[in-house]
Structure 1
């Protein structure tokens, strides 16, 4: 009994210190994550006039002709990715490679029938900034800067807070659902804050654990490698070898360099091979040419069977041969989990109800932080008041 009474104050101290240090980071990461929860749906609503086109009797342009017309009309640079849809009324979404100064031009929606520019995506820049805030806290260097490990440390700190918080709040009547899940609204002040803090933590604890355990995937390489080792049914396969890119003839010849950058790798054979393989079993497909040279194009195909499920192919642009095919339906359970880490992280694996639930849990984090801070301040004030009479007695004596 004495040991238990000594452990709980130590856990409370650890819980409080971790909360004070991490509270601002947790609130920022949670709120930015909540904003990103329905990014796809918000973007679709904002860009409804750009993402759909009028159906026509003429066939849609093949990728090479579409890109050639676009570059001839706009002088667009090198294509980073091309997203095509099975729906004949859907626009083509084109992303561009980074400029020499590492900035990335805004992407475009393009009419698949005549390569007419439909406009830039509304909200793209906003969500890109929020994503950087969520992942890297807007610190310099993005994924290569300090934001990535700081986010991982914050995530591990939240795990410690959840564990210590569960131990600290363990009620005498642990079997009572009401004690665990319902705040005591009859309380006021510190008692109400404690009840809200404990109940919010109980409601959201499992969701927070899922968020943290999947979020660490992007924070630490050792964590990701460990998850792959634990869940994958086979050792990671080496990427198909790409031919070495040709060196530029002369660094000073900037005009030739720009022309070479603007020239796109032929994609017609890639698209034909993909359509022959997938048929009607896809909604959208993203073609991503290699960034550093070579002819192997990565094709990600989102399935029509389930939201978020995707297959991945490597197709040789020169021959149209499918070099590798990574089919979601053929994966064992562990590999399916690894393939959908992002969907699990944001609750999308449960559809829109899951995303809504995870968004509400993220929005509750600031309230969790505020009640924890109020509890800490009231506890400090209480400690000062209990020590004051002792000090007065010593002075009077």
Structure 2
């Protein structure tokens, strides 16, 4: 029994070492870029505090279509794809643009809601967009449609293998001793210190890494995402999410050609205001990417603390009729978990302490890469020293 256990551990060590050597640099890049984005919202808001607010006025704010018309008439801007409007009369309007012919997306703008005057381009936006592409797609062309998405997914699967095998390999004889699990032996040096740091600190961050990897797979593999939706959602919700988008009945009933003329925001915005009143804090209105007429509206309540705790509506831009309404409060626990995948992935569901803990865990990833490589090299050196030299062998050996 003991010999078979030793053989199993030897095989696990081999798998752990090879996976670590192959994925060490890639995992370090993914982890460090994730750490950089941990407090992205707070950093961007701080950098752009001067252009995100305006002096409130007694005059009513412009309707979205008039604001867009004044903005495009005043200067040459790209095709507008989305606007973020707020119930706060002192909040600026955030305008986003569609990709151009080369696939590049122009920088967004903050605009005065009362006269469409451009307040400025947000600092840090392009930097974090590049970091996000590196984190999710490794800057490989094609973004979500390229190979980078699958490569990061394979790296996440490899990390799961390393975490499980590493836990088995370091399982102490006194498994009930908290000290054995959580206290590194800093009195050691060389290989002993490397092994202690690798094993003990790895135990500290293992739960965080498991959460990161299992939620990160959501963004890499469609089969994984569909499986999670099937598992955690109500059957009718899961079926609706997996069906391809089709033209709305409202659009067909109105007899409107989906490619005849550009659509605007006003009808959808007016319908949303009539439905929600003053219960929202901000709303993101996004035009359809294709020839459809349905505008997606993501709405955050005034008591919302997470970016993912939002309601989502789809409104026909021609008729102003609601196509669908998904309220966060109506979701089941499983559906709320799906909605909060991103905030779970980065620890935001635990507030700023959770984000800080996840960031520190991500920053520690290079430590495991370095100590893992050092341990591998030291094992190879010990094996060479243990082998008898041919010149010292006597006849018969």
Shorter chain as normaliser: what TM range? Answer: over 0.9
Answer whether contact 1:302 1:311 (CA < 8 A) is retained. yes
The aligned runs of 1:263-302 (5 Å cut-off) are: 265-302=263-300
Match of 2:239 among 231, 236, 241: 236
TM-score scaled by length of structure 2:
0.92
Give a deviation string over 1:143-162, Cα, whole Å, max 9, x none: 11111111111000000000
**How many residues were matched structurally?**
382
1:320 aligned counterpart, secondary structure: coil
Answer whether contact 1:281 1:305 (CA < 8 A) is retained. no
Instruction: Name the CA distance, whole Å, in 2 between partners of 1:267 and 1:321.
Output: 13
Instruction: Name the CA distance, whole Å, in 2 between partners of 1:92 and 1:394.
Output: 82
CA RMSD of aligned residues (A): 1.7
Give a deviation string over 1:335-370, Cα, whole Å, max 9, x none: 111111111111111121111111111001011111
In the TM superposition, what is the alpha-carbon distance from 1:240 to its structure 2 partner? 5.5
* Unaligned segments of structure 2, at least 5 residues: none
Aligned partner of 2:392 in structure 1 is 393
Answer whether contact 2:258 2:292 (CA < 8 A) is retained. no
Distance 1:217 1:116, change over 3 A: same
Instruction: Name the CA distance, whole Å, in 2 between partners of 1:152 and 1:281.
Output: 39
Instruction: Name the CA distance, whole Å, in 2 between partners of 1:148 and 1:221.
Output: 11
TM-score scaled by length of structure 1:
0.92
Instruction: Name the CA distance, whole Å, in 1 between partners of 2:352 and 2:247.
Output: 39
Instruction: Name the CA distance, whole Å, in 1 between partners of 2:394 and 2:322.
Output: 87
Instruction: Name the CA distance, whole Å, in 2 between partners of 1:382 and 1:391.
Output: 17
Give a deviation string over 1:309-329, Cα, whole Å, max 9, x none: 100001122222222100010
Aligned partner of 1:208 in structure 2 is 209
The aligned runs of 1:134-283 (5 Å cut-off) are: 134-234=135-235, 235-237=238-240, 238=243, 239=245, 241-242=247-248, 265-283=263-281
In the TM superposition, what is the alpha-carbon distance from 1:165 to its structure 2 partner? 0.2
Aligned partner of 2:313 in structure 1 is 313
In the TM superposition, what is the alpha-carbon distance from 1:392 to its structure 2 partner? 4.4
2:239 aligned counterpart, secondary structure: coil
Instruction: Name the CA distance, whole Å, in 2 between partners of 1:247 and 1:296.
Output: 13
* Unaligned segments of structure 1, at least 5 residues: 249-259
Instruction: Name the CA distance, whole Å, in 1 between partners of 2:391 and 2:231.
Output: 61
Give the stretch that moved more between structures: 30-39 or 276-285.
276-285
Runs of 4+ residues deviating >3 angstroms? 242-248, 389-392
Instruction: Name the CA distance, whole Å, in 2 between partners of 1:246 and 1:282.
Output: 30
Aligned partner of 1:98 in structure 2 is 99
Aligned partner of 2:51 in structure 1 is 50
Distance 1:392 1:302, change over 3 A: farther
In the TM superposition, what is the alpha-carbon distance from 1:381 to its structure 2 partner? 1.2
Distance 1:266 1:98, change over 3 A: same
In the TM superposition, what is the alpha-carbon distance from 1:77 to its structure 2 partner? 3.0
2:319 aligned counterpart, secondary structure: coil
Instruction: Name the CA distance, whole Å, in 2 between partners of 1:62 and 1:362.
Output: 43
2:312 aligned counterpart, secondary structure: strand
Answer whether contact 2:21 2:373 (CA < 8 A) is retained. yes
Instruction: Name the CA distance, whole Å, in 1 between partners of 2:90 and 2:184.
Output: 51
